[in-house]
Amino acid sequence: MEKIQFSSWVCPLPLRSYPTVVMGHGSGGKMMQDLIEHMFKPLFQSSVLDQMGDSAVVAIPTNGAGSTRLAFSTDSFVVNPLIFPGGNIGTLAVHGTVNDLAMSGAQPKFLSVGFILEEGLPMDTLGEIASSLAEACRDAGVEVVTGDTKVVNKGHGDGLYINTAGVGVIPSGVDISPQYAQPGDVILLSGTVGDHGMAIMSVRQGLSFETHILSDSAALHSLVACMLAVSPGIHCLRDATRGGLTAALNELALASQVGFEIEEQLVPVNPAVHSACEMLGLDPFYVANEGKLVAVLPAEVADEVLSAMRDHPLGRDAVQIGRVVADHPGVVLTKTSIGAMRVLDLPAGELLPRIC
């Protein structure tokens, strides 16, 4: 691929000078990154937090000698509407946290669930969502062991918000981190992109699509287990949630300080998602997924891992989309369908707010 010069780039917007929180601070983009880099990281001063994995990896001392490595993660869910094609806020709250644990290679074990309920929420709606949440836990083999319920006054929530936190156990021999991508590695993607975000958009007030798009929301830990069974030496895993495929690729390239080069036409997009994105002027590479992962791993195991992924229902459409290079560290380049190169940059703010 030809070289692009980055040295003369300047940021056109003073992103850090917002005096108040705006929707973009909850995106998967630069504004959220700024908030984390310039407020949370300096305040919390944690080497674990600084690693910016999808989940924290911590060592727990055991009664005997040695220690056990746990994955620990949290997500709050504020998706609007609460119920959407292919899932609801309850299933999403399970899949989101289970996937964050799985991206460390952990076997998810225990979940906490915190409900923030709005006064006036129909009890039937709460029942339906809690029931879906419980079913998603059973399907994923995780146990809700602790919880909390708060109620806020009518008009001060959106029906309900859910927070889940999760604890998983990392098998010995598995060592996955966003910082481990190396030049020469290949980049795999587990399937089509943009489905979740466009499923939500398809039912937002004022919009209606002719085609029926389902969210891809799913628990990815069994797919990850199949991949690790073939090759425990996977370097990085990332689920492509807020900010879509673009955010996942940029975060990994930045954390590892390597360049990523992908080929646009290799990335699978469902035709219905493609049409809906065109209609709304959105790029599916930036649209959230809730059941897709990016894996970075040594080239010599790529075929084997890809084949294992394709044997799994959640990895049927898995493909190699690119490779890791030593050039342009922290930058993701993509080769377009007409052969041109462009930078696949993080969005500044929020394309699709309240998507998860």
Binding residues among 4-33 for its own copies as defined by CB under 8 A: 18-26, 32
Give the nearer residue to its own copies in terms of CB position, either 131 or 211: 131
Distance CA 334, CA 343 (A): 6
Give the nearer residue to its own copies in terms of CB position, either 167 or 318: 167
Kindly indicate which of the ranges 164-172, 192-200, 282-290, 295-303 contains the residues binding its own copies, using the contact rule CB under 8 A. Answer: 164-172
Within positions 42 to 61, which residues make up the interface with its own copies, using CB under 8 A? 43-46, 48-49, 55-56, 58, 60-61
Residue of 191, 189, 202, 190 whose CA lies nearest to 86: 202
Binding to its own copies by residue 324, rule CB under 8 A?
A: no
What one-letter code names the amino acid at 35? L
CB of 236 to its own copies, least distance (A): 17
Residue of 321, 315, 125, 286 whose CA lies nearest to 219: 315
E strands in 37-106: 56-61, 67-77, 83-84, 87-88
Kindly indicate which of the ranges 198-206, 262-270, 279-287, 347-355 contains the residues binding its own copies, using the contact rule CB under 8 A. Answer: 347-355
Whether residue 97 contacts residue 74, with contact meaning beta carbons closer than 8 Å, is answered with yes
Residue of 258, 248, 261 whose CA lies nearest to 291: 248
Tokens (6 digits) for 294: 């990016």
Give the nearer residue to its own copies in terms of CB position, either 156 or 342: 156
Distance CA 309, CA 230 (A): 10
150 - beta bridge partners?
116
CA 197, 200, 203, 204 torsion-angle sign? negative
Give the nearer residue to its own copies in terms of CB position, either 75 or 185: 75
Q: How many other C-beta atoms can be found within 10 angstroms of the C-beta atom of residue 266?
A: 14
Give the nearer residue to its own copies in terms of CB position, either 150 or 342: 150
CB of 107 to its own copies, least distance (A): 10
Distance CA 151, CA 121 (A): 10
Give the nearer residue to its own copies in terms of CB position, either 179 or 182: 179
Within positions 253 to 312, which residues make up the interface with its own copies, using CB under 8 A? none
Within positions 86 to 125, which residues make up the interface with its own copies, using CB under 8 A? 109-110, 112-124
Give the nearer residue to its own copies in terms of CB position, either 121 or 200: 121
Q: What is the DSSP string of 240-256?
A: --TTHHHHHHHHHHHHH
Tokens (6 digits) for 253: 């390239």
Q: What are the φ/ψ torsions at residue 62 (nearest 5 degrees)?
A: -100, 170
Distance CA 213, CA 84 (A): 10
Give the nearer residue to its own copies in terms of CB position, either 25 or 221: 25
Tokens (6 digits) for 147: 């919880």
CB of 160 to its own copies, least distance (A): 8
Within positions 120 to 159, which residues make up the interface with its own copies, using CB under 8 A? 120-124, 126-127, 130-131, 133-134, 137, 143-153, 155-158
CB of 104 to its own copies, least distance (A): 10
CB of 221 to its own copies, least distance (A): 17
* Site size for its own copies (CB under 8 A): 86
Kindly indicate which of the ranges 75-83, 220-228, 261-269, 336-344 contains the residues binding its own copies, using the contact rule CB under 8 A. Answer: 75-83
Tokens (6 digits) for 282: 């959105």
Give the nearer residue to its own copies in terms of CB position, either 157 or 322: 157
Tokens (6 digits) for 20: 């108040």
CB of 15 to its own copies, least distance (A): 12
CB of 110 to its own copies, least distance (A): 6
